[in-house]
Amino acid sequence: MSFYNFNPFGRTDIKCLVGANLKVLEEVTEGWYVDYKEEIIKLKTLSKHLSSFANQYGGWLFIGIKESSDRKAEDFIGILEADVEPALLRIREASTAHVNPTVYYEEKVIHGPVEDISLDEGKAIIIIYVPEGADSPYIHSTGRIYRRLADQSHPVQETDRHILDRLWEKGKNRRLKTKQFINERIVCSGPVVHVCLMANPLFDKTFALLGYDEFRKVFTGLGEGYGISMPMDVIHSVANGYVAKQTVNNDKLGVLLTVRWFHDGNVKLTIPLNNLTPGSTSISGAEHAFSKEFLVELSKQRLIKAKICDFTYLFQVLTALYNQVSELFRIIGISETIKAAIALENAKNMVPFIDDATYLEQIRCIGASTVENELVTVPYDLDSVDLISLEKRSPEEGESGAERVVRNFIEVLPVIAPLLNAIGVSNSGKEIATFRGLFTPGVRTNINADS
């Protein structure tokens, strides 16, 4: 559920609005929070409105409503149904291509006929809600910064240096909070991957509270038809959220596979990676088909004494956890695009290993890579907090568990691909897809960083 500085519809969320709700707009005047438009407006003008709402207190833009002489909603004329999709595309373009940073917004389309507001059949009203921006200032493509001003319906260019400084400072503080959240990691000695999945990266939204029983049910293992999941055996509450850990066959005092849920809509995953020492043919009891050939190849490349970090199960484990986290987001109604960051720690000078014939052939051709840094982060520059966007793919009707796995694989690929690229394993997501060892059926359920 969104947080509104002003909501003309009382406690009704934009997602739940119906045509009859719009009747109250006959008593709502244009101004700080509200703007009425009879028809879709030009692209750059539209981006002025979106950026001005984001730079001020947030607000509502209604397209297809005629205002009265006292600037209240007078006639719900709507726009043609055929013009709705082009209008939504224009709004999307205005928010992304003509404002920097991108303006977040929510949309709702009310389709006619609606008797309560005399909206005719074949007509529709578009409702756009822009929350107060947390990453200010939002700069228009002309290089200007616009704000809403009192009862003026048109965005006004801001030139007051004090106000501009306040906008910059607000955005800076939000970005700093995001960076601090991402950089807070569990301390451990072995190689480990940290993943942040953030529905609320700027900490400016409020969501429904997830119940403990719901969290526990998801992490004790999703049922048949839900795809792959990682069962956890230690699940408890902590300040502002819950924790789920996998301790079976692992050192309970070591770094464990962990999910940390925060009630603000953000999640942290800790995924320990296993070590393969020279001469071994297995990792913590998991047989690997190509480990012997891999070690032979390392010997030829004079890397026989190198420490080896096993990435074979990372994609499967992350996909399973992402599947479970996505289910939690669904339960509490989070539909926002998920932002992500990933980090590899304590793997410096280690050779990455994937139990896969294609990867083995790759290192024979171009040599084995070694991890260059003690900490590898994606995105590389966390000061910019240019986080990875995970675009949700709509499930097909009657989606099976196997089809859900494929969908989750594709959604989480933008997280894995750049990390493996950063350590020399691959150069693209397409190349990763050729490593069949990453996609073998079944998910390993016991891993530990210190094993």
Separation of CA 300 from chain center:
42
Residue 1 pLDDT: 52
| Extents of the domains making up the chain | 14-159, 183-439
pTM for the whole structure = 0.74
For residue 283, pLDDT over 50 is answered with: no
Q: Residue 22: its pLDDT value, please?
A: 97
Query: Cβ neighbours of residue 69 under 8 Å, at least 6 residues apart?
Result: none
Q: Which residue has the higher pLDDT, 200 or 267?
A: 267
Q: For residue 308, which phi and psi values (nearest 5 degrees)? A: -120, 135
Q: What is the pLDDT of residues 299-340, one digit of tens each?
A: 899 987 888 999 988 988 999 999 999 999 999 888 778 999
Q: What is the pLDDT of residue 402?
A: 80
- pLDDT reported for residue 408: 86
CB proximity list for 9: less than 8 A, separation 6 or greater: 17, 21, 24
CB 110 within 8 A of CB 15: no
Residue 87's pLDDT is: 95
Percentage of the residues of the chain whose pLDDT score is greater than 70: 88
The mean-pLDDT minimum among 13-22, 107-116, 177-186 falls in 177-186
Q: What is the mean pLDDT of residues 89-96?
A: 94
pLDDT confidence band for 385 (50 / 70 / 90): low
Structure tokens of 247? 């301790």
pLDDT band for 447, please (50, 70, 90 cuts). Answer: very low
* Residues 22/110, Cβ–Cβ less than 8 Å: yes
Tokens representing residue 371 in the block = 């991890």
Does position 383 have pLDDT exceeding 60, yes or no?
no
The Cα–Cα gap between 216 and 210 comes to 10
What pLDDT was estimated at residue 219?
A: 93
Q: Tell whether domain 14-159 is in CATH 3.40.50.1820.
A: no
Beta bridge partners of 308: 276, 351
Q: What is the mean pLDDT of residues 352-373?
A: 91
Say what the pLDDT of residue 23 is: 96
370-384 as b/e, with b when 16 or more CB fall inside 10 Å? bbeeeebbbbeebee
User: Residues 97-124: what's their mean pLDDT?
Assistant: 93
pLDDT of residue 290: 84
Interval 160-198: pLDDT, tens = 777 778 777 877 777 788 888 888 887 788 899 999 999
> What average pLDDT is seen over the chain?
85
Q: What is the mean pLDDT of residues 103-131?
A: 94
| Selected residue with higher pLDDT from 194 and 435 | 194
Q: Which of 91-95, 331-335, 420-424 has the lowest mean pLDDT?
A: 331-335
What ranges make up the beta strands (E) of 137-272? 139-140, 146-147, 156-157, 192-198, 234-238, 241-246, 257-262, 266-272
Contact 107, 126 (CB under 8 A): yes
What is the model's pLDDT at position 442? 42
Q: Which residues in 330-372 belong to E strands, given as ranges?
A: 338-345, 351-353
Beta sheet of 308-310, edge-to-edge order: 274-276, 308-310, 351-353
Whether residue 279 has pLDDT greater than 70: no
More confident residue, 394 or 436: 394
Alpha-carbon dihedral sign for residues 448, 430, 427, 279:
positive
Tally of CA atoms within 13 A in the half-sphere of 327 that contains its CB: 24
| Segment 401-416 mean pLDDT | 86
pLDDT-derived band of residue 448, with 50, 70 and 90 as boundaries?
Answer: very low
Query: Going by C-beta distance under 8 Å and a sequence separation of 6 or more, which residues neighbour residue 308?
Result: 275, 276, 277, 278, 294, 298, 350, 351, 352, 353
Cβ atoms of 340 and 388 within 8 Å: the answer is yes
What 3-state DSSP class applies to 193? Answer: strand
Stretch 275-282: mean pLDDT: 61
Give pLDDT, residue 197: 95
* Tens-digit pLDDT profile for residues 217-265: 999 877 666 778 899 999 999 999 999 999 988 777 778 999 999 999 9
Structure tokens at 380: 């590389």
149 has a pLDDT exceeding 60:
yes
Q: What is the pLDDT of residues 23-70, one digit of tens each?
A: 999 999 988 899 999 999 999 899 999 999 999 889 999 999 999 999
Phi and psi dihedrals of 152, rounded to 5? Answer: -80, 135
| Preceding peptide of 191 cis, ω within 30° | no
